Amino acid sequence: MQQTDDILNILKGNITSRGLKELKIQLVLIQAACVLALEGITRATAGQIAARAIKDYGIEVLPSFTGLIFTNLNIKKLTSHGKSRFVLEYDQLKEIREQTETRCEELIYKLETVIKTFHQLPERITTLQNEWAEIVKNRKYEQELIFQINKEKKKL
């Protein structure tokens, strides 16, 4: 049962790692939008936000992914001059950034736990193998004792 839990934790680690990567990109995009808002830009396209994130933080991100992230975060969108633009309200972005940072910290903790479990597995397996060998040895000794007792009973 413990071994199954360990395997599940390792798989969760893969999921957590992917989730952490996506959250990191999300955090960078939100930070880029915060910078734009602090510079006085109140509306920006997904392409402008992505370009700023690429320039300032060196990440690889597509405007379409940026638009998807901001839409999923319920950041208000307006159409201006035929283009969809996100409304950059610094206070809202700051709150979302803080929530995202908290989620990142939670995932980091989970990932560290999974890594620790993964590193402990070889030692735990060796311990279980040794315990099993001891059980088998004791069982054989028990059978030998039972045989000797029965042999002595017959002599009486």
Mean pLDDT of 2-10: 51
pLDDT, residue 29, reads: 96
> H or E element: which one contains 83?
strand 83-87
Q: Which two tokens stand for residue 151?
A: 């042999």
Q: How many whole angstroms separate alpha carbon 32 and alpha carbon 27? A: 9
pLDDT, residue 3, reads: 52
For 100-148, how does the pLDDT look when each residue is reduced to its tens digit (9 = 90+)?
Answer: 999 888 888 888 888 888 888 888 889 999 999 999 999 999 999 888 8
For 15-37, how does the pLDDT look when each residue is reduced to its tens digit (9 = 90+)?
Answer: 555 677 888 899 999 999 999 99
- Where does 39-156 have alpha helices with state H? 46-57, 63-72, 90-155
Q: How many whole angstroms separate alpha carbon 25 and alpha carbon 22? A: 5
Length of the chain, please? 156
C-beta of residue 101 within 8 angstroms of C-beta of residue 24: no
User: Would you state the torsion angle of the CA atoms of residues 66, 45, 98, 92, taken in this order, to the nearest 10 degrees?
Assistant: -140
Q: How many whole angstroms separate alpha carbon 144 and alpha carbon 136? A: 12
- Structural domains of the chain in order of their starting residue, each with its CATH number: 2-119 (1.10.10.10)
For 69-88, how does the pLDDT look when each residue is reduced to its tens digit (9 = 90+)?
Answer: 999 999 999 998 889 999 99
For 35-73, how does the pLDDT look when each residue is reduced to its tens digit (9 = 90+)?
Answer: 999 999 999 999 999 999 999 999 999 999 999 999 999
pLDDT, residue 119, reads: 87
